[in-house]
Structure 1
Amino acid sequence: MDELRRIDLNQLLTLHALLAEKHVTRAALRVHKSQPAVSHALAQLRTQFGDPLLVRHGGRMVLTARAQALIQPLESALTSLNELLDAPEFDPARTRRRFRLSLSDYAARIVLPPLVRHVRREAPGLDLAISQASREAMMAQLADGEVDLALGIFLDAPEDIEVQDLFQERFVSLADKAALPERGDLSLEEWLERPHIAVAMRPDASDEIEKALASRGLQRHIAVALPHWSAAVDLLAGTDLVLTVASRAVGPIRRHKTLRKFTPPLDLPRFAYQQAWHIRRANDPAHRWLREALLTYSQPSKS
């Protein structure tokens, strides 16, 4: 307890902003202080912790090892203090919070519109900041406190990351009708002979489709690899390309008059689309409200 007397608890909020933003000016905006005030607070924090905390490297500010080690305990401490001081009942209409979500443009198209409508109706003071990253990067961002919630497929999440299924999905294949046999689909041999579009954050990523092929000693030819779900469907018309994606990424097939949807000639099991968060956020009332809203408004009937 003696250590607490040596530091202004308001400085911990400034420290939290500095560790998250890694930038004095952005941290100042986050805590509604002037840039000189945050610079002065950083100087005091450096003295308090006996460490520079933020150092310049390659033209940008990076965290020292000591600062990295402070992220999780500081996040947990501030969450506990917030729960201690918060009113017992959470009122979404009166909350003033900003949550950072990491999700693909698939989720931005499927989940985000109904969620935003719900938030604007019920919690207009709750702001959402959206970013995009690979699954591996999402796990690191959750652990470091850089994002509050991530959406995706998380099969091997670390122990300190909680995962909840939002809805079940299945894979479908699409191709231009003119490039398909009259029967309207492709055999496995024909499917493998075709050039494919792959949707992934990295061109060399191994997704559920690649893993299913590898388990059978098979491989497909990826002619186009891109990270944009929404653009992938538009690449098919007038080509011999095949796209295999989550069914809800396609949308109503009637919007794509020259395309045909068919079942992939490969055993691709259904999969759960999920939300993930760090355990330090589990009991945060506002965070819990947002998770429950995502669970409700991500269902197909609500889209």
Structure 2
Amino acid sequence: MHQMNDLRRIDLNLLVILDALLSEQHVTRAAERLHLSQPAVSHALGRLRDLLGDRLLVRAGAGLVPTPRALELVAPLAEALAQVRALFASERFDPASTQRTFRLAMSDYGAAIVLPGLIRTLRRDAPGIALQISHASREGMLEGLVNGDIDLAAGVFPELPHDLRSTPLFEEHFACLVDRHSLPVEGVLDVPGYLARPHVLLEMRGSGTPEIERALTAIGERRHIAVSLPHWSVAPQFISGTDLILTVASRALHGIDAQQLSVLAPPFHIPSFDFVLAWHQRRGGDPALNWLKAQIEQAIVRA
């Protein structure tokens, strides 16, 4: 009976508010995300503190910092909410009438490939579905899936935690981008010529492109990095007219200025890789998310 009385004190909306607070770590932003007033969210936080016997979030500067107890709640809370949503989800999902926001993580490379076709499909068939796109390192994307901060991640994930699932979207290989006028007369890029050039490295928060470094290590070589940046889209603009070289996934180089730039195969073997869509296994019963995954796969096929 005592356990039943405890359950009667719990409003499911409190768990939704706690999830938003732990994600945003800011009362005002959580209120905006939930379309609630700031006082309502503050009141809910007070009730949660009483129910759980912990401060949960403590003030630090302009925001809030989760307590150790709150951090322990992040993953089980996300899993519980996902199961509740699946419980009440209609087996016959209707994209035309659904009002949902999905959080997707991908690089600008992934966004250029996935989003154009996907967004056209959503505007046509599911105008009530909104997307929040974030950009993070590989490690950051996987962490976001595990703790429930994101719904889907598109990227290159050679290893996944045991509770994540994935499906390949396409196989990709590496290509090199150089200024056309900086090539030898014969237009060939060999290993010495590759290594002699200063390189552009794509990385975010210390996460570079390990596939390239492993391939160079395999032949006993290293490259000199002249420029490091977290996105590839600006790189062609400063490779033109220089001796720089960029080694990147080949689809990133579609539509470059062929008058000024050349796309060449690397002069040594770099294994191809799968670009995949990943999600947490707890979301497997969500028909709306499964529909969205299918639309992403179709968008890749049409691209």
The Cα shift of 1:39 comes to 0.5
Task: For residue 175 of structure 2, give the secondary structure of its aligned residue in structure 1.
Answer: strand
> So what's the TM-score if we normalise by structure 2?
0.94
After TM superposition, list the pairs within 5 Å mapping 1:1-303 onto structure 2. 2=4, 3-202=6-205, 205-253=208-256, 255-299=257-301, 302-303=302-303
Query: In the alignment, is the contact (CA less than 8 A) between 2:164 and 2:281 conserved in 1?
Result: yes
Structure-1 separation of matches of 2:206 and 2:32: 36
| Identity percentage of aligned residues | 50
Consecutive unaligned residues of structure 2, counting only runs of 5 or more, are none
Query: In the alignment, is the contact (CA less than 8 A) between 1:14 and 1:31 conserved in 2?
Result: yes
Query: In the alignment, is the contact (CA less than 8 A) between 1:200 and 1:225 conserved in 2?
Result: yes
The Cα shift of 1:59 comes to 4.2
Task: For residue 298 of structure 1, give the secondary structure of its aligned residue in structure 2.
Answer: helix
Structure-2 separation of matches of 1:190 and 1:204: 26
More displaced stretch, 185-194 vs 204-213: 204-213
Distance 1:47 1:22, change over 3 A: same
The Cα shift of 1:21 comes to 1.6
More displaced stretch, 201-210 vs 66-75: 201-210
Consecutive unaligned residues of structure 1, counting only runs of 5 or more, are none
Output the amino acid matched with 2:276.
Answer: Q
The Cα shift of 1:58 comes to 4.7
Query: In the alignment, is the contact (CA less than 8 A) between 1:164 and 1:274 conserved in 2?
Result: yes
The Cα shift of 1:87 comes to 2.2
The Cα shift of 1:256 comes to 3.6
Output the amino acid matched with 1:68.
Answer: L
Structure-1 separation of matches of 2:130 and 2:207: 34
Task: For residue 143 of structure 1, give the secondary structure of its aligned residue in structure 2.
Answer: helix
Query: In the alignment, is the contact (CA less than 8 A) between 2:153 and 2:279 conserved in 1?
Result: yes
The Cα shift of 1:204 comes to 6.7
Structure-2 separation of matches of 1:157 and 1:203: 19
Query: In the alignment, is the contact (CA less than 8 A) between 2:91 and 2:287 conserved in 1?
Result: no
Task: For residue 213 of structure 1, give the secondary structure of its aligned residue in structure 2.
Answer: helix
Task: For residue 166 of structure 1, give the secondary structure of its aligned residue in structure 2.
Answer: strand
Structure-2 separation of matches of 1:203 and 1:41: 38
**Count of aligned pairs:** 300
Provide runs of 4+ in structure 1 moved above 3 Å: none
The Cα shift of 1:101 comes to 1.0
Distance 1:204 1:23, change over 3 A: closer
Task: For residue 268 of structure 2, give the secondary structure of its aligned residue in structure 1.
Answer: coil
Structure-1 separation of matches of 2:164 and 2:139: 12
Task: For residue 171 of structure 2, give the secondary structure of its aligned residue in structure 1.
Answer: strand
Query: In the alignment, is the contact (CA less than 8 A) between 2:166 and 2:278 conserved in 1?
Result: yes
Query: In the alignment, is the contact (CA less than 8 A) between 1:177 and 1:260 conserved in 2?
Result: yes
Structure-2 separation of matches of 1:183 and 1:136: 41
Structure-2 separation of matches of 1:86 and 1:178: 58
Query: In the alignment, is the contact (CA less than 8 A) between 2:100 and 2:129 conserved in 1?
Result: yes
Deviations 1:107-137 (A, max 9, x none): 1112111111111111111110111111111
Task: For residue 92 of structure 1, give the secondary structure of its aligned residue in structure 2.
Answer: coil
Query: In the alignment, is the contact (CA less than 8 A) between 2:165 and 2:280 conserved in 1?
Result: yes
Structure-2 separation of matches of 1:94 and 1:109: 27
Structure-1 separation of matches of 2:147 and 2:139: 13
Output the amino acid matched with 1:229.
Answer: W
Deviations 1:198-248 (A, max 9, x none): 112146735211111122221011111111111112221111111111111
CA RMSD for the aligned pairs? Answer: 1.5
Output the amino acid matched with 1:262.
Answer: L
Query: In the alignment, is the contact (CA less than 8 A) between 1:184 and 1:260 conserved in 2?
Result: no
Task: For residue 56 of structure 1, give the secondary structure of its aligned residue in structure 2.
Answer: strand
Deviations 1:45-98 (A, max 9, x none): 000000011112354212112112222222222222222222221111111111
